[in-house]
Structure 1
């Protein structure tokens, strides 16, 4: 189980970026980015039946509609997990 954050997220959200104190966070230099690796979570191909109007709406939003569907499903999953 993860520990709850001590960050006051509501206060932080009300601040503009220049107002946020990041002095305790070191800058990431060239060496960090030379060694950094992109890790994309594994995806699994599935067949899913969606109502035609739902699929059309997502496609009308432009490229990346499958990613957006996945993001919404993830948000729903996490909301359900948090209810427990």
Structure 2
């Protein structure tokens, strides 16, 4: 059985031998259109590799807004973050 280092070394060797000739280089115009990953829309299919840095903050929110967020069950802070992220993405 291979240990973790041996598996990693095999993956690196396999990657180094990968033929990327069918992938064209991006033009300057295409590169200019790229956006930082934190601005990706929430509905993207593969967000598994994206882990934003979380920071604790104290925010004062109107009571009715807080009740509305909590009314959908657990995860109101995550929902609030999603709403703010969507607003951020729309204002880019």
Instruction: Quote the Cα distance in structure 2 between the aligned partners of 1:39 and 1:66.
Output: 18
Query: 42, 56, 66: which is aligned to 1:55?
Result: 66
SS at match of 1:47: coil
- Kindly state the Cα deviation for residue 38 of structure 1 after the two structures are TM-superposed: 6.1
TM superposition score normalised by structure 1? 0.50
Q: Which runs of no fewer than 5 residues in structure 2 stay unpaired?
A: 1-31, 35-47
Query: 17, 42, 56: which is aligned to 2:53?
Result: 42
Classify 1:77/1:39 alpha carbon distance in 2 versus 1 (closer, same or farther; 3 Å).
closer
Q: Please say if 1:65 is aligned against 2:66.
A: no
SS at match of 1:48: coil
List, as ranges, runs of 4+ consecutive aligned residues in structure 1 with deviation greater than 3 Å. none
Q: Please say if 1:2 is aligned against 2:33.
A: yes
Q: How many residues are treated as equivalent by the alignment?
A: 48
Q: Which residue of 2 aligns with 1:29?
A: none
Query: 56, 62, 85: which is aligned to 1:74?
Result: 85
Q: Which residue of 1 aligns with 2:43?
A: none
Q: Which runs of no fewer than 5 residues in structure 1 stay unpaired?
A: 4-36
- Kindly state the Cα deviation for residue 39 of structure 1 after the two structures are TM-superposed: 5.5
